[in-house]
Amino acid sequence: MLKEVRIHGRGGQGAVTAAQLLAHAAHMEGKHVQAFPFFGAERRGAPVKAFARISDIPILLHSQVYSPDYVLVLDPQLHKIIDVTEGLRKDGVIVLNTTKKPNELGLAGWHVATVDATGIALELNLRVAGQPVVNTSILGAFAGATNVVSLESVLKAIKENWRGSAGEKNAHAAELAYKRLTKGW
Amino acid sequence: MKSLVEQKVLALNGDEAVAYAAKQADVDVVAAYPITPQTIIVERFSEYVANGEVETAFICTESEHSALTACLAASLTGARTFTASASAGLALMHEMLFVTSGCRAPVVMAIANRALSAPINIHGDQSDTMAQRDSGWIQIYAENAQEVYDSVIQAFRIAEHPDVLLPVMVCLDGFQLSHSVENVNVFPDEIVKKFVEVRRFPKVLTHEGKLALLKLDPENPMTMGPLAFPNYYFEFKRQQEEAMKNALEVIRQVHDEYARISGRNYGDGLLDYYYLEDAEIAAVCLGSTAGTVKTVVDELRAEGVKAGLLRIRTLRPLPFEGIQKALENVKAIAVMDRSMSFGGYGGAVFHEVRHALYDYDKHPFTVNYIYGLGGRDTSPMQIREIYRDLQEILEKNRVETPIRYVGLRE
């Protein structure tokens, strides 16, 4: 069964890395994977997209994802300026980084899960160049909101990507997000 | 097909797959200059060098022109050489591409296909390698990261084969493959080492009348790339053409031998056939888009539509007869080009395919679709449209617009 994921973020927030980590996590579970970015002009703060596919059989498609099963949103303001639900399957799930509750986002009719990834990053002092790191938390939340990948695989992928304390801290953030996730359904 | 050896499955992007293959292929010299979307290849390889994982001499040059010149010179001394480039970098190599193939230096180069300026664009299309298809290099276009890995390993065997001795470009679509993480089965190092073998050299007669191996060697001095005036130049060029012809068979053999070990095959190594036996309508394309087309063909077949795909894996040398045979019974053909031949009648691949069909009694309808320039995405929905167009052509029994553009504002 093919599952398609679209990740929205802003340049510098790690949407591309999140897609790659997700692919690595699913790959560890023996799945066929694909993860790829859509790079615009590479400037900090501009909306960016990255995609991932996870499947039990080899993936032939090499187009962007047009009807995602899951949408991950790294930035709390992004859903106000772009349509994060574009092409999303009816039974699809949106996981957002926000302090708000799922029913406070104007996304009625969708399966929405929220987590305060920014809050977790500030709490753990998880920052890169002063900015809170939210991409690894979102992956923890994604594991909690769906059964596509397990939290264990996400943590393993994170620790393999960053050895030492950076890996530990990011893994801790993902674990907290997994626990603190609020599902709107 | 079953694999003869146990392989490890890694999650690698296309660039990483190239670097991994080059690492295992026992390369003596790498000379390169970075350019997006190829950069990861050279970055990874330089890490292998820094970590002592390879015994390769790594030369950071001041330009792509110099990078290929260094590879050429190293190759002529007998070294196995590798480089990578893209877009403007490949364009800057233009002069040295001809020198490399003319000197019969078996350099292997990966190209992460990218658009050419202006306007500046870092994204994928095949304009860069299409512009070099007359440079005397073998060109192999990969569909996915796995094939990228496999093709780079095969490329050394093809390039260095005594009947070929031509440089090889392995082309991977920029971003769609270069930056896309996928499952890649990799061999243990020793299997690759055994497959690529130690470089062999044919024996040639030196100016002193001695038999010597064809490489620069102070013990047996010889001149490479000498002056050839009207009395001999033409014969050199004719020999290159003969080598290209030989390459058709060598590419097939190397592909088949590799397939027996790996359990993976890409058609016959030259052409990849997808549901063509009874196809009435078919697309012809190169590179990663073929995967998307295959997905659409699967859907159409499930709906009872006799659709097929011919993927040209090897564009140079062109498997001319293979193309004829593969499209023998197809009634309407959509040839897809991810580059433009400005002022030509359609794109480069269209020229080749239509040309191959000319000698036939049956002249199928052929239409050209220019797509994906500057990284514009080509969706499964757009591919479906193309097949729908072909059905319509058969219904109306005529082609109204022979050259079309996919997803273009007009």
Q: What is the Cα–Cα distance from B34 to B178, expressed in whole angstroms?
A: 14
B211-213 and B203-205 as β-strands: parallel, antiparallel, unpaired? antiparallel
pLDDT tens for B127-182 read 999 999 999 999 999 999 999 999 999 999 999 999 999 999 999 999 999 999 99
Residues 6+ apart with CB under 8 A from B133: B139, B315, B316, B348
Instruction: Look over chain B and give the mean of its residue pLDDT values, rounded to a whole number.
Output: 97
- Quote the tokens at residue B388: 């729908």
Chain B hits for A20, CB-CB cut-off 8 Å, are 181
Query: Is the pLDDT score of B280 beyond 90?
Result: yes
pLDDT band at B363 (very low <50, low <70, confident <90, very high): confident
**Is residue B207 situated within a structural domain?**
no
The percentage of residues in chain B with a pLDDT greater than 90, rounded to a whole number, is 94
- Quote the tokens at residue A34: 């694909």
Torsions phi, psi for A85 (to 5 deg)? -90, 0
Instruction: Please name the residues between 128 and 167 in chain A that touch chain B, using a CB distance below 8 Å.
Output: none
Same domain, B69 and B192: yes
Q: Comparing A14-23, A40-49, B121-130, which segment has the lowest mean pLDDT?
A: A40-49
pLDDT of residue A60: 97
Same domain, B327 and B258: no
pLDDT band at B206 (very low <50, low <70, confident <90, very high): confident
Query: Is the pLDDT score of A183 beyond 70?
Result: yes
Query: Is the pLDDT score of B200 beyond 70?
Result: yes
- Chain-chain contact of A36 with B183 (C-beta, under 8 angstroms): no
Same domain, B50 and B183: yes
ipTM over 0.90? The verdict is yes
**Is residue B185 situated within a structural domain?**
yes
CA distance A37 to chain B (A): 7
pLDDT tens for B305-339 read 999 999 999 999 999 999 999 999 999 999 999 99
B120 touches chain A (CB under 8 A): no
CATH number at residue B323: 3.40.50.920
Torsions phi, psi for B274 (to 5 deg)? -130, 110
**Is residue B220 situated within a structural domain?**
no
**Is residue B236 situated within a structural domain?**
no
Same domain, B248 and B286: no
CATH number at residue B149: 3.40.50.970
- Chain-chain contact of B122 with A27 (C-beta, under 8 angstroms): no
Q: What is the Cα–Cα distance from B389 to B34, expressed in whole angstroms?
A: 41
Same domain, B107 and B155: yes
- Quote the tokens at residue A149: 């990948």
**Is residue B223 situated within a structural domain?**
no
Instruction: Please name the residues between 10 and 49 in chain A that touch chain B, using a CB distance below 8 Å.
Output: 19-20, 23-24, 27, 32-37, 39
Q: What is the Cα–Cα distance from B387 to B303, expressed in whole angstroms?
A: 13
pLDDT tens for A65-75 read 999 999 999 99
Across residues A53-63, what is the average pLDDT? 97
pLDDT tens for A77-134 read 999 999 999 999 999 999 999 999 999 999 999 999 999 999 999 999 999 988 999 9
pLDDT tens for A20-38 read 999 999 999 999 999 999 8
pLDDT of residue B254: 98
Interface test with B, best of A27, A31, A60 (most B CBs within 10 A): A60
Chain B hits for A66, CB-CB cut-off 8 Å, are 379-381
Place of tokens 């060029």: B237
Across B59-78, b (16+ Cβ under 10 Å) vs e yields: bebeebbbbbbbbbbbbbee
A1 touches chain B (CB under 8 A): no
Chain B residue with the nearest C-alpha to that of A65: B379
Same domain, B349 and B398: yes
Same domain, B347 and B382: yes
Same domain, B106 and B148: yes
Same domain, B371 and B287: yes
pLDDT of residue B207: 84
Query: Is the pLDDT score of A40 beyond 70?
Result: no
**Is residue B92 situated within a structural domain?**
yes
Structurally, chain B folds into a number of domains equal to 2
- In chain A the domains, ranked by start, together with CATH numbers, are 2-183 (3.40.920.10)
Residues 6+ apart with CB under 8 A from B300: B307, B384, B387
pLDDT of residue A44: 75
Query: Is the pLDDT score of B410 beyond 90?
Result: no
pLDDT of residue B359: 86
Same domain, B286 and B378: yes
Note the pTM of the prediction, 2 decimals.
0.97
Q: What is the Cα–Cα distance from B229 to B215, expressed in whole angstroms?
A: 23
Query: Is the pLDDT score of B243 beyond 90?
Result: yes
Chain B residue with the nearest C-alpha to that of A42: B122
**Is residue B151 situated within a structural domain?**
yes
- Chain-chain contact of B180 with A66 (C-beta, under 8 angstroms): no
Instruction: Please name the residues between 282 and 301 in chain B that touch chain A, using a CB distance below 8 Å.
Output: 288-289, 291-292, 294-295
pLDDT tens for B293-302 read 999 999 999 9
The percentage of residues in chain B with a pLDDT greater than 70, rounded to a whole number, is 100
Same domain, B309 and B191: no
Q: Give the residue ranges of DSSP H helices in B285-403.
A: 289-302, 320-326, 348-358, 380-396
Across residues B85-93, what is the average pLDDT? 98
Same domain, B252 and B361: no
Domain that holds residue B308: 271-405
**Is residue B221 situated within a structural domain?**
no
